[in-house]
Structure formats: C-alpha cells, structure tokens
Amino acid sequence: MSLNHKALADRLFPSAQKSDELELRDIPPEQRRLHTETSDLTVSSLYGYMSNGKIEIPEFQRGYVWNRTQASRLIESLIIQCPIPVVYFSQSHDYKLIVIDGNQRLLSIKLFMDDGYELQGLTTYPELNDLNWSNLDPRFRDHILNRTIRCITILKDTHPQIKFDVFERLNTGSVKLNAQELRHGINHGPLMRELDELTRNETWKRLTGIKRDNRMRGAELVLRFFAFRYARDEYAKPLSVFLDQFTSSNRNTPERQIDQWADDFAATLSLVDFALGSLAFRIYDENLRPNTSFNSALYDAQMVAFSETTNALIHRKNFEPERLQRSAARLFASERFENSIGRATSDEQSVKTRIEMYLSFLNEFTDAV
C-alpha cells in the first residue's frame, strides 16, 4: 500500500531535477581560456559602429531605461573627461560586436548625437542645459567625438560556455539573466529573431498558457522543438548545452531555411491544437481531465511526433479528436512513458523513449471517422 502511495505521489508531484548545466571543469583545460581584445575606441568610432550595424544591442537587454538626466550626466562626463566604465562586447562569428554590458551608455551617446534629447540636470556645465547635439558649439562636439572609452571584446574563438560564464559574471542587474536570454545575447541573429516571432502566435499562447513571456521561456521551448526536430541524433545531456550548441551552430543559418522551420512549427502547432486542444502538453486521465499543468517533456514528445508522423489520417485531420485523446491517455498509464516525461527527463534515453513512443502511437492510430 505504501509503495502504491509513493508511486502516486511520484506521478503527481515529480521530484525537481537537479540543474543539468555544464560545469566549467567539464570543458577541456585548453578550452577554458578567455580570449579577449582590449581597445580604446573613440566616441566617433562607437557611434559609427552603432549606425552601420557593426555593434548590435540584443533584444533581451530590455530596451532603453535611462532618464534624460542620467543620459545628460554621461555626456557631461565625456566633456569633463571623467572616466567612463568599461564596455564589454562579445564577438560574433561574422565579427559583429554584441553588447554584453554598457548598452545604456552606448544608447545614450547615440541618442544624443541623433538629436534625441536636450541636456538637462548638468552640474559642472549648467550653461549647456537645454542644448541638443546640433546646437552645441563645434568645439564641444569635436571634444566629445575624440573621447575614448575602454572596450573589452570576448573573441569568437572563446568556448561558448566560457562566454556564458563571463556574461553571467558581468550581469550585475537586479534580475539575473537566464540561459535563453544569454543565448539571445551571444547568438543574436535570424534564428533568435524567429524564435521571438513564433512566441507571438495566439495559438501558442493559448496552448502553453504563456501569456506574457518576459523571460523568454517560450523562445526556449520553440528552440527545443527545432533542436529535437532537426538535430536530436546529436543530443547528449545536459539539455542546456545541447541547446547552446544548436543555437551557436545555426546562428547564421540562411533565413530561407529558418522560414521552413518556422512553417513546420506553425503547421505542427495547428495540428496539435486540432487533435488535443486544451489537453495539449498536459498529462490527463481516462476521463480527459488534466492532472498537471504544462509539461515540457511531454511538449517535446507531442510536437516532434505530430511533426514527423507518417499517418495520413493525422495530417489530413481525418479523425475525431476525442477518440485520439482517449487513445493517447493509455500512454500515460505506461510506466515507461510516464518515467520518460516525469523523471530524469534530460537523460538521453528519456528523450528518445518519449518521442519514439508518442510517434509510434500516432503512426499506428487508425480510429478514423
């Protein structure tokens, strides 16, 4: 009796899994070195790089938040030659500079030089209050343009996990960046932009229950689908590193290919919605009552299986959804399947088992109307 009670508790309240993030000591010693380049760039150069796209500020940086007085005081600091904190970049594979730390400073400079605001709150040179860039005496403008800011760039040949570690250390804000936000910063490009776009899908929001995705949880789930759909033969835990590597290797995948992946995702989501509706990505009983909220391991199995099934009845939606739902409920009674979505879910065998079992179920489903 006690064993049955424990089994039920394990099913309803699966133990939290320990973090599977790669420890730095697991990286070969010769790859742990941080490759950096230090330079003193003029404000003129930094402005030019921002204007022509050589410097990119990733979307996850949560926008521009400095007020006008803060921005003005930075400009005044440049004028009086007060030291400016170091700006950190990450070098991308195409040699662009991704801002790791310093986006508020850089945006304040660019915004001012684009006549985006007038100076205010200055204490050393209050005479300059209410002036914008165009109205400054040319000698002040030349002085600002020639000021240098120390910049440290983490070069592209640094191991991605070392980059992640440094990024976390430099992130001193009140909210610590999570793994997906770090991926957006280090691998900013077409793939990351597509992930963000797909999470705006209304069907996606309804099925996952993610209405306001401020921490990129949804983007990571879409990334999981892409990674397991197109590269799961390469999967090895930890999951976070697998996603890091997939993101890095596909950062500059042609947009035509990414568009095809996005179409596959959208079509699969539509099919899942038709077949499972509000039961999608949730464990439920034989009476079609959900036992749990969103289950990310079950999400993996259902999304990949509905995408890859060869069953024409499924693709044509030539079936009664409730019949499929009741048939699928039998999977949850399988201890093997249950373990694959509830225990050690990042283990290689668990990933393989849950996807293969759900795919087999769909391929064999014959209860057509």
Position 7 scores a pLDDT of 60
Band of the pLDDT at 252, cuts 50, 70, 90? Answer: confident
- Of 21-30, 138-147, 281-290, the poorest mean pLDDT is in 21-30
Three-state secondary-structure class, residue 36:
strand
- Of 116-130, 156-170, 203-217, 234-248, the poorest mean pLDDT is in 156-170
Tell me which long-range contacts 74-78 makes (C-beta under 8 A, separation of at least 24). Answer: 74/105, 74/108, 74/109, 75/108, 75/109, 75/112, 75/119, 75/144, 76/119, 76/122, 76/123, 76/124, 76/125, 76/128, 78/43, 78/109, 78/143, 78/144, 78/147
Position 187 scores a pLDDT of 74
pLDDT digits (tens, 9 = 90+) for 29-69: 556 667 789 999 999 999 999 999 999 877 655 557 789 99
- Give the burial class of 305: count Cβ atoms within 10 A of its Cβ; 0-12 exposed, 13-18 middle, 19 or more buried: buried
CA angle 197–54–165, rounded 5-degree value: 70
pLDDT at 265 over 60: yes
Percent of the chain with pLDDT over 70: 84
What is the arithmetic mean of pLDDT over 279-293?
90
Mean pLDDT (the chain) is 86
pLDDT digits (tens, 9 = 90+) for 341-366: 998 899 999 999 999 999 999 999 98
Position 361 scores a pLDDT of 96
C-alpha to C-alpha distance for 156 and 174, rounded to whole angstroms: 28
Position 35 scores a pLDDT of 79
Position 18 scores a pLDDT of 41
Band of the pLDDT at 190, cuts 50, 70, 90? Answer: confident
Query: Do 225 and 303 meet the contact criterion of CB atoms below 8 Å apart?
Result: yes
Three-state secondary-structure class, residue 292:
coil
pLDDT digits (tens, 9 = 90+) for 300-334: 999 999 999 999 999 999 999 999 999 999 999 89
Position 30 scores a pLDDT of 55
pLDDT digits (tens, 9 = 90+) for 198-209: 999 999 999 999
Query: Do 119 and 183 meet the contact criterion of CB atoms below 8 Å apart?
Result: no
C-alpha to C-alpha distance for 340 and 102, rounded to whole angstroms: 43
